[in-house]
C-alpha cells in the first residue's frame, strides 16, 4: 500500500486567468486552515490547470502542480506542442494516457510510451490513465482491455533498466464514468484496482515502492468516502467537481479525514 492519499483535480480546458486567481485565493486559505489544524496527514493534493496557467501557480506550497499533457517529442519543429522539459520547470506530475487524449488526439500506445520516458528524463512523475469504455464494460471483457492498456505501455517502459526505481502513479478511469455523473460502484472499482495491483506486482519488479492507484470518473463529495475506503484505492482524479473550490475542498477534507 502506498502511504499517501492523492487528491488531484484535472481542470481540462476550463478557467481563464481571473477564475484561476479567484480559485486559488480561496483555496490557499482553505488548505492553510486545514493543515494548520493537522499537518500530519498523508495527503498529496494536485491541480492540473491549463498549461498556460502553470507559471502563475509555480509558487504553490500546499499542493503540487500537474500538467495535463506533454509532447511526445523532446524539442524542435512541433508547432503548438509543449515539451516535458518546459513543463518540468513548473510541474511535479503529468497526466499520460487520459481517455480524452486517446480519443480526440489519437494518442497510441507508442506515443504514451514516449511521453512516459520523456517525463522520467525530466523528473516528472507520470500519472498513467487507463480504463474501459461502455461497450467493453457491457460485454464483460473490461479486465482484458485494462490488461492490454497496462501491459502495452507500462511493461515496455519498465523492461528497461534505465527506468529502474522510478515512481509511477496510475489512475483507473472508466470512460463511461468520465463526465457522465455515473461513477463506478465501490465494488466495480475494487475489482479493477485489485486486478491492476496484482498485474503491477507480478510484472514490474524494478519500480520504486508500491504504485498508487487512483480512481477517476464522476467523483464528488458524496461518493469520495466510499471510493477511498476501498483497499487498493490510493486517491482520486477529479474532473468536474474540482472546478468548484468549495466542492474540491470538501473532497480534500474527506480524504484528509481518512489519511
Q: Which residue is nearest to ligand PGA (CB)?
A: 239
Which string of x and - marks every residue 235-254 that binds ligand PGA (by CB under 6 A)?
Answer: --xxxxx-------------
Among 5, 6, 7, 10, binds ligand PGA (CB under 6 A): 10
Is-catalytic flag, 173? yes
- Helix or strand or coil: residue 170? strand
Is residue 87 a contact partner of residue 119, using CB atoms and an 8 Å limit? no
In degrees and rounded to multiples of 5, residue 249 shows phi and psi of -65, -40
150 lies in the binding site for ligand PGA (CB under 6 A): no
Q: Which residues contact 66 (CB under 8 A, 6 or more apart)?
A: 8, 10, 46, 47, 48, 91, 92, 93, 94, 95, 127
Minimum Å gap between C-beta 178 and ligand PGA is: 4
Question: Active-site residue among 173, 183, 193, 256?
Answer: 173
Among 68, 149, 218, 221, binds ligand PGA (CB under 6 A): 218
Minimum Å gap between C-beta 230 and ligand PGA is: 17
CA distance 239 to 241: 6
Q: What angle do CA 128, 93, 256 make, to 5 degrees?
A: 95
CA distance 132 to 147: 10
Is-catalytic flag, 53? no
Among 217, 227, 233, 255, binds ligand PGA (CB under 6 A): 217
Question: Active-site residue among 53, 98, 183, 256?
Answer: 98
Q: Which residues contact 162 (CB under 8 A, 6 or more apart)?
A: none
User: Which candidate, 4, 5, 8, places its Cα nearest to that of 241?
Assistant: 8
User: Judged by CB under 6 A, which stretch of 18-26, 70-78, 214-222, 246-254 contacts ligand PGA?
Assistant: 214-222
223 lies in the binding site for ligand PGA (CB under 6 A): no
Please say whether the dihedral angle defined by the alpha carbons of residues 199, 204, 208 and 209, taken in this order, is positive or negative. positive
CA distance 229 to 42: 15
Which string of x and - marks every residue 166-205 that binds ligand PGA (by CB under 6 A)?
Answer: -------x----xx--------------------------
Nearer to ligand PGA, 153 or 219 (CB): 219
Minimum Å gap between C-beta 99 and ligand PGA is: 7
Nearer to ligand PGA, 178 or 192 (CB): 178
User: Which candidate, 216, 220, 248, places its Cα nearest to that of 233?
Assistant: 216
Among 219, 224, 233, 255, binds ligand PGA (CB under 6 A): 219
Binding site for ligand PGA (CB under 6 A): 10, 173, 178-179, 216-219, 237-241
* Residues marked as catalytic: 98, 173
Amino acid at each position: 500500500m502506498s502511504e499517501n492519499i492523492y487528491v488531484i483535480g484535472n481542470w481540462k480546458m476550463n478557467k481563464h486567468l481571473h477564475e484561476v486567481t479567484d480559485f486559488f485565493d480561496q483555496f490557499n486559505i482553505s488548505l492553510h486552515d486545514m493543515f494548520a489544524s493537522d499537518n500530519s496527514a498523508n495527503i498529496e493534493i494536485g491541480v492540473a490547470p491549463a498549461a498556460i496557467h502553470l507559471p502563475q501557480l509555480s509558487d504553490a506550497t500546499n499542493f503540487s502542480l500537474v500538467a495535463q499533457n506533454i509532447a511526445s517529442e523532446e524539442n524542435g519543429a512541433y508547432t503548438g506542442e509543449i515539451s516535458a522539459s518546459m513543463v518540468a520547470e513548473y510541474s511535479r506530475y503529468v497526466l499520460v494516457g487520459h481517455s480524452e487524449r486517446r480519443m480526440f488526439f489519437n494518442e497510441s500506445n507508442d506515443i504514451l510510451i514516449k511521453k512516459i520516458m520523456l517525463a522520467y528524463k525530466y523528473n516528472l512523475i507520470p500519472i498513467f490513465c487507463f480504463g474501459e469504455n461502455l461497450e467493453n464494460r457491457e460485454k464483460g471483457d473490461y479486465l482484458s482491455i485494462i490488461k492490454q492498456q497496462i501491459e502495452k505501455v507500462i511493461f515496455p517502459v519498465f523492461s528497461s533498466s534505465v527506468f529502474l526505481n522510478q515512481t509511477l502513479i496510475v489512475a483507473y478511469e472508466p470512460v463511461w464514468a468520465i463526465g457522465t455523473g455515473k461513477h463506478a460502484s465501490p465494488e466495480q472499482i475494487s475489482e479493477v484496482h485489485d486486478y491492476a495491483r496484482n498485474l503491477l506486482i507480478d510484472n514490474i519488479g524494478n519500480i520504486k515502492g508500491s504504485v498508487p492507484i487512483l480512481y477517476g470518473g464522476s467523483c464528488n463529495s458524496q461518493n469520495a468516502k466510499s471510493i477511498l475506503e476501498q483497499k487498493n484505492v490510493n486517491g482520486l482524479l477529479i474532473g468536474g467537481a474540482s472546478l468548484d473550490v468549495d466542492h474540491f475542498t470538501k473532497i480534500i477534507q474527506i480524504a484528509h479525514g481518512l489519511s
